[in-house]
Amino acid sequence: MPSLETTNWILAVIAAASAAQFLMLFFGALWAAKRISDVQDTVTKALTRFETTHMPEFSAKATHLVDDFRKVADRMDRVGLEVERATRIAQGATSSQVRRLHSRTIAGSRRHAVTSPVTEPSIRPTTGQRTRIEIVINAA
């Protein structure tokens, strides 16, 4: 069994080692906090520099692009209204012309046979083989 003096020395060495470990951890934590603070300051300065040099240019370009989009949208609205107006006019003219031509066709078909020269190739949906549509003659 060791003596009391030896036990005290062992306890003193253990206490000194614990104190040294604590101090190393404490100063290591302070050093890490300082490094993190330095990195944070560097990043903050870089972001600030980026915002002051590049953001006004990007903002101006984005504003210009949005203004162009608004101009195009306004122009498309005007063109759309013009197309609607022209379509209504054309529909009115076309329907009266179709009625006139239809009445002529009906009158003409009473005197002459109406033929349809359709010979477009098509594919049968069930077999996939080609077929031809024959000329249809409508005799009156």
pLDDT (tens digit per residue) in 43-63:
999 999 988 888 888 899 999
The whole-angstrom separation of Cα 115 and Cα 26 is: 103
The whole-angstrom separation of Cα 72 and Cα 94 is: 31
pLDDT (tens digit per residue) in 107-135:
555 555 555 544 444 555 566 565 555 55
Asked if residue 31 has pLDDT above 90, the reply is yes
Least confident range from 59-63, 73-77, 86-90, 106-110: namely: 106-110
For the chain, what percent of residues have pLDDT higher than 90?
44
Contact 136, 120 (CB under 8 A): no
Q: What is the pLDDT of residue 86?
A: 87
Q: What share of the chain is helix, strand, coil (3-state, %, to 5)?
A: 75, 10, 15
For the chain, what percent of residues have pLDDT higher than 70?
71
Round to the nearest angstrom and report the end-to-end CA distance of the chain: 135
DSSP notation for 103-134? HHHHHHHHHS-EEE----EEE-TTT--EEEPP
